[in-house]
Amino acid sequence: MSDLRITEAFLYMDYLCFRALCCKGPPPARPEYDLVCIGLTGSGKTSLLSKLCSESPENVVSTTGFSIKAVPFQNAILNVKELGGADNIRKYWSRYYQGSQGVIFVLDSASSEDDLEAARNELHSALQHPQLCTLPFLILANHQDKPAARSVQEIKKYFELEPLARGKRWILQPCSLDDMDALKDSFSQLINLLEEKDHDAVRM
């Protein structure tokens, strides 16, 4: 091979390397989803979201009105609107549902019977609300590290999820602040449901 051909070959290889390094552009943006997070006061909504955002638990203050956090994951960013769970605030939850693409419902699996009944009523209302009934739900049975915690099967039966949520997209998962891997896996499953809903919308 002549020196000219060798030079041309090297120049072409340099060109390919330049294109690979400089012309591929920025990585694709992660999709963002707007979610609403609801649950009674004391269920642990704020603590779970703060832990996912790597915030110090010492600075966690229970939400009295609403707050918004951008929770980053490898394949998506979840813009979570957390609503306070006090008695006098829950009646206003529906005012903040508009624009939501998914729902996170947090319950205290170790709560009293009265609080568990209140949580069941609120979840039933959310599952049947016109602005939420077609959305994916992530239901977190929190405080599984407490001795009085009820199992996921007990929660599913008590909340009557099988008949009530039939035909809907929902996930019921146990969680606690001590098991972040399980919590992140629960959110990954929710992101999968959100992506499926996006794909279904495109096909329509």
Residues making up the annotated binding site are 39-46, 63, 85, 142-145
Binding residues for GTP are: 39-46, 85, 142-145
**SS3 at position 68:** strand
Please give the Cα distance from 201 to 204 (Å, whole number): 5
Please give the Cα distance from 143 to 124 (Å, whole number): 21
- Contact criterion met (CB below 8 Å) for 194 and 33: yes
How many CB atoms sit inside 10 A of residue 160's CB?
Answer: 12
Burial 107-117 (b: 16+ CB within 10 A, else e): bbbbbeeebbe
Residue 93: DSSP 8-state: G
Binding residues for Mg(2+) are: 46, 63
**SS3 at position 129:** coil
Q: How far is CA 182 from the centre of its chain?
A: 13
Q: Comparing C-alpha atoms, which of 133, 123, 108, 138 is closest to residue 35?
A: 138
